[in-house]
A and B are shown apart, each in its own frame.
Chain A
Amino acid sequence: AQSVTQLDSQVPVFEEAPVELRCNYSSSVSVYLFWYVQYPNQGLQLLLKYLSGSTLVKGINGFEAEFNKSQTSFHLRKPSVHISDTAEYFCAVRDPTGGGNKLTFGTGTQLKVEL
């Protein structure tokens, strides 16, 4: 079984500042890792994913994440945020040994970008 921990429930940041949203996971097997964004009253949109290969993954909207196997982390970063980045961000894992796309999500981090 896998689990995902997002320690920060809320992260306030000023516009144009850098941001890091933390994600740690627990699993007895290798996993695939994902970050999703949820805007108010919307569904989830995939930001980026790590399957294998380079540990630095680039996604949409200028976001990137780094997979660190030894620390079982997959932190999301953006060098300069915009007001439009205000949203809820979810980290998720998938066990690749089973079929299907069943995801285990963290509890989410609310990013609030202020002027």
Chain B
Amino acid sequence: NAGVMQNPRHLVRRRGQEARLRCSPMKGHSHVYWYRQLPEEGLKFMVYLQKENIIDESGMPKERFSAEFPKEGPSILRIQQVVRGDSAAYFCASSLYTGAGGRNTEAFFGQGTRLTVV
């Protein structure tokens, strides 16, 4: 049973290019979360998606960042016109559906994509 798969593991982009980060959740998981980890910092929530729906995007920067989780295929985090400040590790996590008060609470993390903007 494969875990959460993220690719690529490492991504180098020049300033102004686009970065596409992919996340395939664990089998059977329909909920995906993206987090960003800046150097020397903890993980910061970015966005929470269900298939074909964005549930919570309160942590997403207002510009240049977008995320999707289509009916078929992986979730994609897209960063347009990257800048040096976008250099970070981006982690994806997935879980089963958890309703309010739900105790099915474990989110499983991928190994991350380390984005370097040069």
Contacts and interface: CB of A to CB of B under 8 A. Distances in A.
Query: Interface of chain A, helix or strand or loop or mixed?
Result: loop
A101 B98 contact: yes
Contacts of B111: 41-43
A101 B93 CA distance: 9
Contacts of A46: 106, 108
A59 to B, nearest CB: 12
Interface residues of B, number: 32
A100 B109 contact: no
B48 A100 contact: yes
Interface in A3-37: 4, 6, 32, 36
A45 B40 CA distance: 18
For chain A, the bracket of interface size reads 20 to 34
B33 A102 contact: yes
A100 B31 contact: yes
Given A96-B102, A100-B31, A101-B33, A45 B45 contact: no
Contacts of A104: 45
A105 B109 CA distance: 14
B28 interface: no
Contact of A103 (B31, B45, B97, B100): B45
11 contacts: A4-B42, A44-B91, A46-B108, A90-B42, A90-B43, A96-B105, A97-B101, A100-B56, A100-B95, A105-B42, A107-B40
